[in-house]
């Protein structure tokens, strides 16, 4: 029962009201997330998010929370300067009784809490195409607010998170080690990534060559990491700020398209269902670029489709690496889940490759 797992934890946060219930949200692949309900004196209900930070992924939770605070403060100040009411538009932290925004428990687990943002949805799949335009606008606006954020103030919460070259080496090392005894049947899959090795290096090469600028980026721009307002249908708040770090705009764009412009779920087992919805591709692109058209460079625009290929390939390879390592990083819902995810992302990558020229024509048409 959830209550038994968290009853010692919830006492450690300054929640208002009387505890009513807790429910686990299972859409995220990394942290453990609960929604807590508290009854208020006037009979209304207030909700909070409680999260156990995954320390396999995030080795230093205190530095992680410092990053998130810096980012949220920066965005809040930028909104204030633009006379934007920041209510429900940024994450609001709850203090723990240890005096910080983290509670470190006796089992060496780290917990944090946010105010639950009401009347909004983090969609796992697209129900209304306009929401994907809004997701693009939301992530674009996030970029816009962080444009002048000093990157050197941020800790790399996961070093080399989108260093696809190092991800490839980690994949090769996992294959060599074969610690879960799963490699023998994966010959086709291994070839797939060797065949794409050069493509995977391209964003890093263009960044090293100074063609693409480094920016502060979100780095995990799945559709369910932006809340859409129920009343207005507009993007409300970008969440899941654990991976905000130095990066390329191509990562944020590419990851969002990877997830949202697919015709199937990220872990679809029936590969015949997986394709690219070019209408959704265009909607997201329009929303994203509309917010950053003053700052995005022509080289970034031209290379946006490269971001889609690299990030889809990187994630396919990360899922396969985790499968080979015995499922130690991503949460799995069944034993072969990471392999199914890898196959789905490999198929999706092939579909994006087929649409590459069409994507390229579209984004180049946006250059002024
Ligand atoms: P993960 O890193 O595991 O993906 P997230 O921070 O994205 O964790 O949280 C998981 C889910 O919890 C989100 O997709 C969203 O549905 C919900 N959520 C997280 N923070 C909030 C919030 N402040 N208000 C409302 N819902 C939230
Ligand atoms: C993880 O935390 P979540 O579920 O939003 C992962 C992303 C992957 C994504 C795939 C810190 O994101 O990199 O793209 O799963 N986050 C981390 O669904 O590894
Ligand atoms: Mg998330």
> Over 80: is that where the pLDDT of 360 sits?
yes
E strand segments, the chain = 18-25, 32-39, 45-53, 103-104, 110-115, 120-121, 215-217, 226-229, 235-238, 245-247
DSSP state of 273: G
Q: How far apart are CA 216 and CA 210, in angstroms?
A: 16
Q: What percentage of the chain has pLDDT greater than the value 90?
A: 97
Name the band, by pLDDT with cuts 50, 70 and 90, for residue 128: very high
Q: How far apart are CA 63 and CA 58, in angstroms?
A: 9
Output the average pLDDT for the chain: 97
Q: How far is the CA of 56 from the centre of ligand 2 (A)?
A: 13
Q: How far apart are CA 223 and CA 280, in angstroms?
A: 12
What pLDDT shows up at residue 368?
A: 80
Segment 178-227, tens digit of pLDDT? 999 999 999 999 999 999 999 999 999 999 999 999 999 999 999 999 99
Ligand 1 pocket mutation pick from 240, 241, 260, 315 by most atoms within 8 angstroms of CB:
240
> Over 80: is that where the pLDDT of 1 sits?
no
Ligand 1 pocket mutation pick from 37, 48, 49, 61 by most atoms within 8 angstroms of CB:
49
Pocket around ligand 1 at a 6 A CB cut-off: 25, 27-28, 30-31, 33, 49, 91, 114, 116-117, 122, 224-225, 239-240, 242
Q: How far apart are CA 184 and CA 190, in angstroms?
A: 10
| Atom 12 of ligand 2: nearest residue by CA position | 29
Ligand 2 pocket mutation pick from 125, 167, 220, 349 by most atoms within 8 angstroms of CB:
220
> Over 90: is that where the pLDDT of 69 sits?
yes
Q: Which atom of ligand 1 approaches the CA of 117 most closely?
A: 24
């Amino acid at each position: 029962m959830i209550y038994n797992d968290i009853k010692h934890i919830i006492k450690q946060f300054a929640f208002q009201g009387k505890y009513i219930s807790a429910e686990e949200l299972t859409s995220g692949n990394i942290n453990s997330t609960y929604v807590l309900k508290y009854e208020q004196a006037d009979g209304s209900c207030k909700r909070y998010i409680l999260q156990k930070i995954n320390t396999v992924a995030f080795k230093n939770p205190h530095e992680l929370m410092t990053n998130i605070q810096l980012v949220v403060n920066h965005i809040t100040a930028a909104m204030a300067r633009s006379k934007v009411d920041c209510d429900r538009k940024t994450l609001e932290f709850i203090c723990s009784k240890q005096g910080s925004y983290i509670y470190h428990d006796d089992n060496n687990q780290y917990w944090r809490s946010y105010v639950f943002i009401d009347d909004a949805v983090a969609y796992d799949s697209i129900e209304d195409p306009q929401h994907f335009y809004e997701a693009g606008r939301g992530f674009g606006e996030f970029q816009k607010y962080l444009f002048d954020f000093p990157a050197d103030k941020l800790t790399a919460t996961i070093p080399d998170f989108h260093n696809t070259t190092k991800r490839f080496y980690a994949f090769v090392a996992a294959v060599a080690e074969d610690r879960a005894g799963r490699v023998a049947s994966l010959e086709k899959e291994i070839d797939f990534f060797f065949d794409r090795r050069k493509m995977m290096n391209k964003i890093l090469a263009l960044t090293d060559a100074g063609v693409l600028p480094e920016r502060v980026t979100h780095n995990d721009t799945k559709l369910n990491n932006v809340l859409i307002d129920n009343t207005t249908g507009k993007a409300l708040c970008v969440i899941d700020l654990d991976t905000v770090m130095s990066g390329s705009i191509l990562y944020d764009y590419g990851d969002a398209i990877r997830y949202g412009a697919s015709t199937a779920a990220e872990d679809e087992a029936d590969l015949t269902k997986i394709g690219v919805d070019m209408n959704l591709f265009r909607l997201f692109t329009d929303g994203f670029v509309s917010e950053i058209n003053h700052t995005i460079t022509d080289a970034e625009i031209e290379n946006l489709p490269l971001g889609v290929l690299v990030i889809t390939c990187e994630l396919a390879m990360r899922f396969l690496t985790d499968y080979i390592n015995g499922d130690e990083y991503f949460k799995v819902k069944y034993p072969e889940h990471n392999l199914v995810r890898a196959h789905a992302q490999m198929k999706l990558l092939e579909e994006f490759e087929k649409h590459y020229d069409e994507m390229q024509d579209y984004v180049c048409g946006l250059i002024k």
